Structures are given as structure tokens and as C-alpha cells.
Amino acid sequence: MNFWHGFTSTAVEVDHAGHRYRVGLRLFTLGKNITLSRDGEVVERASSPARFVLEDGAKLEIETSEHGFRRAVLRTPATTTRLQPADGTWEAARHRWAREHPMANGVIVVAATIILAAALLTAVLSLLQLLTSIDAVSDMLGGWSFTMPVTTSPVLLVAFGVAVGMAALDTALRMR
């Protein structure tokens, strides 16, 4: 996969019963967007959520979201194994970087979590302000209306939006 394919597709892999299974996902595609390959040969295509039954009875269970895999596991009677990002994907690069730089990864994970929590709080407070500015709602609340405690400049809003986007991208690339 090259850089540009990271915008439209991703993949996960697992070794099982002497074979290499790869599950490819084409994002922004209607219909059968999941492809199962065994040792490089396409075996089956399906839509999400998908369940592929392998020759020995093991099952690959796949659930996707709009930006990647939500869940990708191999279930056998004895174990459940999470599939790993395939080489050449953005998720694999993020996974490798996290292994090589565990301290920096921890800082980024905490920062991304704080930024996403702040974005959620800001969205809730903005919605509360919007709802209480409606005359009928304000009257039901005895004339009370909420005003955001902090006003920000457009430049700060754009910077915050970029930070939220980067935090969301990091979370998606960590396959969380």
C-alpha cells in the first residue's frame, strides 16, 4: 500500500494454521467492502459486519467504522486473537512507532484523550447554549439561559479544530 491508499483502504493480518490471512477494507465503498485473502489469494468478499469461517472452523469476525476497523478478531475454540495492522498501512506505522517510543506514545495518548474530552465538553456546552437561547426553552426554565464561560477567537477555534482532528486520527490509527 502506498501513502494515498491510506485515505481509502486499510488491512489487518493474522497467521493461523500455516496460512497468512489478510482482511482488506475499502473505506467509503458501498456493498462488499471487506476482502479476505489467504496467502495472497482472494478467498471471499463481504460487507460489514462480516464473519468468515475458515477451513478448521475458526472464525474471523470483522466490524468496521467509517474510518477503519472497529473490531477484527480470530476466534478458535481455545482462544481469541486480535488481528494486527498489515505492513504498509498507516495503522502499522503508528503501531511500530508506539513500540519504538513508548514514553512519547503515552504522552500522545493522554494528550489525545484530553483533547477529545475537551471537544466533547465544548460540544455539549455549545448545544446547551443553543437550546437555552430559544425563547420557549428559556421560558420553561424560568428565564434562565446558559452562556459559554469562555469566548474564543476564530484563530483559536481553527487551532482547536485541527487538534481535535489530529487526536481523532491518532485514536483511529491506534485501532481503538
In SS3 terms, 76-90 reads as CCCCEEECEECCCCH
d(CA 52, CA 94): 27
* Residue 176: per-residue pLDDT: 62
* Residue 3: per-residue pLDDT: 67
Q: Which of 88, 103, 107, 113 is nearest to 176 (CA)?
A: 113
In this structure, are residues 114 and 171 in contact, taking their beta carbons and an 8 Å threshold? no
Q: Which of 59, 62, 60 is nearest to 49 (CA)?
A: 62
Whether a cis peptide bond, with omega within 30° of 0, leads into 49 is: yes
* Residue 174: per-residue pLDDT: 83
Alpha-helical (H) ranges within the chain are 90-100, 102-132, 135-140, 154-173
What structural domains does the chain harbor? 3-84 (2.40.128), 101-173 (no CATH)
10 Å Cβ neighbour count for 116? 16
Q: With H, G, I as helix, E, B as strand and everything else as coil, classify residue 25.
A: strand
- Contacts of 32-38 with C-beta under 8 Å, sequence gap 24+, read 33/64, 34/62, 34/64, 36/60
Gyration radius (Cα) of the chain, Å: 22
- pLDDT (tens, 9 = 90+) of the chain, 176 residues, equals 566 677 788 999 999 999 999 999 998 887 789 999 999 999 999 998 999 999 999 999 999 987 788 899 999 999 999 999 999 888 899 999 999 999 999 999 999 999 999 999 999 999 999 999 999 999 999 999 999 988 889 999 999 999 999 998 888 888 76
* Residue 88: per-residue pLDDT: 87
10 Å Cβ neighbour count for 91? 21
* Residue 140: per-residue pLDDT: 92
Q: Which pTM value belongs to this model?
A: 0.74
* Residue 53: per-residue pLDDT: 95
